[in-house]
Structures are given as C-alpha cells and as structure tokens.
Amino acid sequence: MKYRRFGKTELMVSEIGFGAWAIGGNAIVGNIPIGWGDTDDKESEVALSAALEVGINFFDTADFYGLGHSEELIGKIISPNRDAIIATKVGHRDIDGKIVLDYSAKYIKAACEKSLKRLKREAIDYYQLHSARMEHLEQGECIQAMEELKKEGKVRYWGLSLNTFHPEPEANFLIKNNYGDGFQLVFNLINQRATDVMKSASRAGYGLIARMPLQFGLLTGKFDNGANFKTGDHRTFRLTPDVIEKSRRILHENVWCKADELQLSKTSMALSYVLSHPEISVVIPGIRNVRQVYENTADLRLLETDLVNELDNLKSEWRSVVEMMEKLG
C-alpha cells in the first residue's frame, strides 16, 4: 500500500480507503432505501480487519449509514488501532420517516458527541458536512460549529462532502474563504464533472477524497448482463436498465480493451484511473467483504499520461449517461 498526504494536514492516508456505507446494512427512511441491502456484521468485521492487514488506514463513514450502524462497526474493529484514520459525516437525519438536512450548530455538536461514542474515539480525524449546500454555508452556522469542534479538540480536521453532480459552488466558497481542510467528491471514469474543482482545491492545499470510483459497481463489469438488486438497495432506482446498457456499450468500446492490453481487471483499471490524477489523496471504493478488500487493492498502478488523457476525453461520450443519472437522483 502507498500513502499520500491529505492536503496540508498531517494525515498520511492510504491511496485506497475503506468506503463504509454498505456495511451499515439495510436501512430505510420512510419508503426510501438508504443502504445496500442486507449485510452480515461478522462478514463486515472480517473485511474491516483484512483492510488493516493490507495497509488500508483510512475509513470513511457517516452517521447516516445504517443510521449509525456503520460507525458502530468501525468503533468496534478499527478504533483500537490508534493509527487508523477515521472520517465521518454529519447533516442527514431521519425524523418521523423523512430525510431531513440539519446543519444547525446545535445538531452538529450533538451529533458529533454521538458519533464519538459510536466510534469509541476522543476525536474524529476528519469530520465532514454531509452534502451541505450554498444556503447552509452562507448562513455560516455550520462552519462556525465545525471550527469550534476543532478548537475543542473533538475534531482534528474538517471539510465538505460535495454534491454528486454540481460540486463547484460549495467548493469555490470554501476555497475562497479558506474554510476547512478537504473535500469529498465524486470522480470516476463515468462522472468527471469534478475535474476543475479537483485542480483548484489541490492548488489551494485541500485534501481530496474520491468517492464512487466504481460508480455503484458499474465499473467492475459485473452488471454487463443486467442487475437484480435486493430490497433496501438504493441502486434499485439509480442503476436502471438504460443506465447499465449505455454504460456497458461505452465501456466495451473504449475502456475494457485498454484494461485487457494492460492485463488489468476492470476494477483495477477503474481505480488506477482515479489514482492517476495526482490531485486525489485517497480513493474510497465501497467495501463489504474480504473479497472486495483484495479486489480493490490488487494490481494498482499509475497509468501513462496519454492513456489518462484519452480516458479524460470520453466526457462527451458519458454526458448522456451522467445526465440520466442526475435525473434519477
């Protein structure tokens, strides 16, 4: 495992981190699935332990993943390893079966205490506002709360998990005002909308977490013949047959042939592409079992510049797919 510095912070993070949304289990708010279907806690615990063994030291979760269950598992397995870096998020709530966004100082501070308890830590290494938008940032209360938590020693560093499709306004606001220490953003072979934000944030010294590097599994190739998602899996309404088929065609015509030439698996190709952008500090594929720990850390490499540029230039090919995904939410 190789490590990169997280922006201007003292954190040295593994190039591959552990995305811990899936291990939160089957969670539903009202009639909206917010998880990845049923999971086995024992299997999740073994996967977390295996991640440490292969050198993963960065674990990304949120208090909303499994409505706290993902944090509890990380607290049980990861927290005893004091060298492990734990990142979590705040701002999404389940109130009477409805998803509510709450970035008030009162809620952030109360939620932080609950996360610390579940994580079994005295301080959160990296605390993130979970998809806060401009209206919340401009109001200023959430920023003040994060700064106060940092001064109190309950948070070492903080940042913002950016909107999936339009990350620019919020990122530019924090960069302009020199708020926070990092960003989490979507960046992969399919969705490259964050490219400009990556460059400007990196120049300004922010650490960058790339989430969804495998685009909910599309970039592993396992949905080439369609998909049948279980109850409670949010991908049911995100990865429609049209999305899967259009993605499959572009990948087979433009990407998988390159992976074959390099003798890389589809997963390794997708992750290597993201890692080949030096602005990125850590990539967090979702992991739910030991097999995925090994698949997501195997045979990674920096791709040749010409190939990276060629894959970057597929934006026009992917535009209709990304627009379709945006409409689906």
Task: Give percent of the chain with pLDDT exceeding 90.
Answer: 86
Quick check: 6 and 207 in contact, CB under 8 A?
yes
Which parts of the chain have pLDDT scores under 50? none
- Whichever domain contains 206, its CATH number is 3.20.20.100
Q: How far apart are CA 154 and CA 148, in angstroms?
A: 9
pLDDT of residue 191: 96
Residues β-bridged to residue 29: 32
Can you tell me whether residue 300 is helix, strand or coil? coil
Task: Dig out the tokens for 245 from the structure.
Answer: 């088929």
Q: How far apart are CA 221 and CA 285, in angstroms?
A: 15
* Run of H or E including 53: helix 41-53
pLDDT of residue 237: 66
Query: Considering only CA atoms, which of 17, 8, 19, 22 is closest in space to residue 58?
Result: 17
Residues β-bridged to residue 93: 100
- Can you spell out the DSSP letters for 146-198? HHHHHHTTSEEEEEEE--SS--HHHHHHHHHHT--SEEEEE-SSS--TTHHHH
What lies within 8 Å, CB to CB, of 275 at 6+ separation is 15, 283, 300, 302
- Residue 251, domain extent: 3-328
Q: How far apart are CA 264 and CA 256, in angstroms?
A: 9
Structural domain tally of the chain? 1
Specify the DSSP class assigned to residue 42: H
pLDDT of residue 2: 97
What lies within 8 Å, CB to CB, of 235 at 6+ separation is 36, 216, 217, 227, 229
Task: Dig out the tokens for 140 from the structure.
Answer: 């200023």
Task: Dig out the tokens for 233 from the structure.
Answer: 């899996």
Can you tell me whether residue 221 is helix, strand or coil? coil
Q: How far apart are CA 327 and CA 316, in angstroms?
A: 18
pTM of the predicted structure, to 2 decimals: 0.95
Neighbours of 98 (CB within 10 A): 10
Q: How far apart are CA 220 and CA 270, in angstroms?
A: 8
Residues β-bridged to residue 4: 13
